Amino acid sequence: MDIAIGGWLLVAVGLLLAFTGTKLFWLAVGIAGFAFGWLVTLALFPNVDPVAGLLMGLVLGIACALVAVKGLPVIGIALGAVLVGLFGLTLAKVFLDNNVVWNVFGFIVGAVIGYFVVKLSFDFGIALVTAMGGATMVWNGIEEAMPDLTDAIPTIAGAATFIFGFLAQQAQRRNAEEGGVNSSP
């Protein structure tokens, strides 16, 4: 499989996550598992075949979605940790010379922040971390699909995905709340 196809797949999945993360929670958890498996495999083993990263992502994605369907409450907090951890990993790759130690450090710092964001405010936190996680996937996907592009384009696309994805999720939540209020007798 060409790495560009995998990159575009990551962009598509990232957009889906950023705009529907709170609405399709089980899917968000599966997407997070997929991205975690894929991006971490590629970050820790830069010379591995991209197909191996994709397969690791698919296995983890399916496993995470099954756990989410079971309704375990800890999965939301884990989702926040993984998605913000991936953002930290991406920042470490970009700004700290793509060193494995710094990549792991970036992931851990992001994971701790993501854990507390979701733990302190579940609904708001899930919207925030799924928008951020989706944006991170868009950012990484564009870099993988089009490596010759200037770094500014994937960064701007990721930032726009984060902002608009978060705003869309907040609007969906407000519409759901208003629909519930107006439909009651």
Give one DSSP letter per residue of 148-165, joined into a string: TS-THHHHHHHHHHHHHH
Q: How many CB atoms lie within 10 A of CB 159?
A: 13
Hunting for tokens 């089980």 — which residue is that?
Answer: 26
pTM: 0.76
Contact 158, 15 (CB under 8 A): no
Hunting for tokens 């609007």 — which residue is that?
Answer: 171
Structure tokens at 77: 């907090």
Secondary structure class of 50 (helix, strand, coil): helix
Hunting for tokens 């990159």 — which residue is that?
Answer: 7
User: Where are the chain's structural domains?
Assistant: 3-179
pLDDT of residue 92: 85
Contact 108, 88 (CB under 8 A): yes
pLDDT of residue 184: 38
Tell me the CA end-to-end span of the chain in Å, nearest whole number.
Answer: 56
pLDDT of residue 73: 64
pLDDT by position in tens, the chain (length 185): 566 887 898 899 899 989 988 777 777 777 777 777 776 777 777 777 777 777 777 787 777 777 767 766 677 788 888 888 888 888 888 888 777 788 888 888 988 998 888 888 888 888 999 999 899 989 989 988 998 888 889 999 999 999 999 999 999 888 888 875 544 34
Q: Where does 56-181 show beta strands of DSSP type E? A: none
Alpha helices (H) along the chain: 3-20, 25-44, 50-69, 74-95, 100-120, 122-145, 152-183
